[in-house]
Amino acid sequence: MLTKKYDVVVVGSGPAGIGAAIAAARGGASTLIVEKNSVLGGMMTSGLVTGFHGMRSHQSSENRRVGSFLTVDTRTPLMSKGLPLELCNRLVEAHAACADKDEPPMRTEFDPQVMIPLLFNMMKEYGVHILLDTFVFGVGMSGKRIEYIKVANKSGETHIYAKQFVDCSADADVAAWAGAPFEMGGADGRCMPVTIYSIIGNVDLEKLFAYYREHPEDIHTGTVDGWYELYKAGKPLTLVGNRDLIMKAAEKGDYPRLMNQESVLPNPIFDIQTSYLPEGYVKIQADMAYGIDITDGDELSKAEMEIRTVQIPGIFRFLKKYAPGFENARLMETASLIGTRESRRIIGYHMLTKEEANSNFESSESIGRCGRAMNVHSSGNPAKNAEAGGQQWIEQPKPTGYAIPYGCLVPHEVDNLLVGGRCISVDRNVLGSVRGEPTCMVTGEAAGEAAALCIKEGVNPADLNVRKLQEMLLAHNVEL
């Protein structure tokens, strides 16, 4: 049996894992990051989720108000500093982000092909060891301590030992295997919908805007004139809506029925985005499959196949037939990684709630902040109310966001594990807020810093002096 040994092992290299690995290595720990894909970045790269959404606080962002122009909105204070801001600045310097240095908009669009080498170079710079194309499939326990994780790759099975582990798998895989308690889904157990991004070329956006001028109600956020002004200025667009087009097509059987859809007609969130792409190219983000448990291998496989054989081809046909400007479009690329909004959430020493977030919660044990709205997508029938899985968009009353307490990163029942990313200890409503990439990196950075500090102090995460952790985070420009 092959074995490896490090001070800290980070599982997953999405935004949270990147933050955790850099922070742990920066804190003096020998650190390994384990990634199942062939590149680092998770959804930022393999998933084509190229909107770093949550750098600031949402204010007046819904419907047609001023804050709905998220890709240029810099009105509110920065919530995500530290490593998220450092990463944005490095992308700006590489001419690969739609932002100004130190002043990124609420949703900062970036080029994933520049992000990939940038992340590898940052790992090298900070001294992080990398293991790619490697699947974590279990843990070895001694009482309540994780002794090692079990991984498999072209070398066969390997056991990787560490003093502290950081679960940034997004699905709390390590935490669940180690026996940590968790929750998943809404009251009915169903999770928010999954999506696979696609890139479409040879699109005439002038024709699309002509349609919107005649049908302004089909733009659900922002205004036609506002978005067109940004388009002519070369700024990234996020055209949310298109419901009338979808309903017209669905009534004739020309829009694919969403997986596990319970209503007669679909009501997906549907975005046409230009992001970092050159003229004539757009990205499509649309709800595609409801209530999928991605921690179930069979269910995940069915969703992958359904989306790639029915949803994406069907949506592309719909656009070519019904959406002005898409008549001669070509489907150029689909993301290799399925986009997942929800799965397991640990039950930690603090469970951050909707009521706390909605009251601009402050904490003496804050490790970071979030100002992103609670954006909860439907998990079933879009016609149902919020309790049954309907969509919600809830902004905090003040643009100061809310504090994320350290206890959200520390699971019960496992002595040497921290968690970062969307699987931290929050209720389902707050998950709709903290799942944004910058906030995932904020929690990952804190978890990695804490893991290294635990080793130095000779304590378990649950016993760590949070004030010492906060001093280290403040020294690295983290907003508490």
pLDDT exceeds 60 at position 389? no
Average of pLDDT values for 388-396? Answer: 71
**pLDDT tens-digit map of 187-224:** 878 898 999 999 999 999 999 999 999 999 999 888 99
Name residue 417's beta-bridge partners. Answer: 165
- The single residue listed with the structure tokens 């890709």 is 71
Q: Is the dihedral of CA 317, 318, 320, 325 positive or negative?
A: negative
Give 416-445 pLDDT, tens digit per residue: 999 999 999 999 999 999 999 999 999 999
Cβ pair 216, 224 in contact under 8 A: yes
Residue that the structure tokens 């302004």 belong to: 216
Place 298 in a pLDDT band, splitting at 50, 70 and 90: very high
Task: Determine contact, residues 181/346, Cβ cutoff 8 Å.
Answer: yes
Q: Is the pLDDT of residue 74 over 50?
A: yes
In the structure encoding, which two tokens stand for residue 478, read together? 């983290």
What type of residue sits at position 148?
Y
Rg (C-alpha) for the chain, rounded Å, is 21
**Whether 437 contacts 372, CB under 8 Å:** no
Task: For strands 156-167 and 417-419, give the pairing.
Answer: parallel
Are 168 and 451 contacting, i.e. CB atoms less than 8 angstroms apart?
no
Of 248, 190, 235, 240, the residue nearest 217 (C-alpha): 240
Model pLDDT, residue 476: 98
Q: Give the pLDDT score at 293.
A: 94
- pLDDT exceeds 80 at position 384: no
Does 382 score more than 70 pLDDT? no
Chain position carrying tokens 């397991």: 344
Instruction: Return the pLDDT at 220.
Output: 86
The model's confidence at residue 66, banded by pLDDT at 50, 70 and 90, is low
Could you list the beta-strand ranges (E) of 277-321.
282-286
Per-residue pLDDT tens over the stretch 122-174 = 999 999 999 999 999 999 999 999 999 999 999 999 999 999 999 999 999 99
Q: Strand 156-167 and strand 2-11: pairing?
A: parallel
Q: Reply yes or no on whether the pLDDT at 370 is more than 50.
A: yes
Q: Which residue has the tokens 């900062």?
A: 108
Distance (Å, whole) CA 130 – CA 133: 10
- The pair of structure tokens assigned to 185 is 């889904």
Give the whole-angstrom CA distance, residue 411 versus residue 416: 9
pLDDT value at position 475? 98
Q: 189: which 2 tokens?
A: 């157990």
More confident residue, 261 or 96: 96
What is the pTM assigned to this prediction? 0.96
pLDDT at 263 over 80: no
- Residue 291 pLDDT grade (very low, low, confident, very high; cuts 50, 70, 90): confident
Percent of the chain past pLDDT 90, that is, above it, reads 86
**Of the given ranges (329-343, 387-401, 439-453), which has the lowest mean pLDDT?**
387-401
DSSP label at 44? Answer: G
Res 387: pLDDT:
39
Among all chains, which residue has been given the structure tokens 């020294």? Answer: 475
Percent of the chain with pLDDT over 70: 96
Question: By CB neighbour count within 10 A (0-12 exposed, 13-18 middle, 19+ buried), where does 178 fall?
Answer: buried
Mean pLDDT of 6-10: 99
Q: Is the pLDDT of residue 385 over 90?
A: no
pLDDT(390) > 80:
no
Average pLDDT score over the chain: 94
| Residue that wins the pLDDT comparison between 389 and 189 | 189
The amino acid that residue 254 corresponds to is D
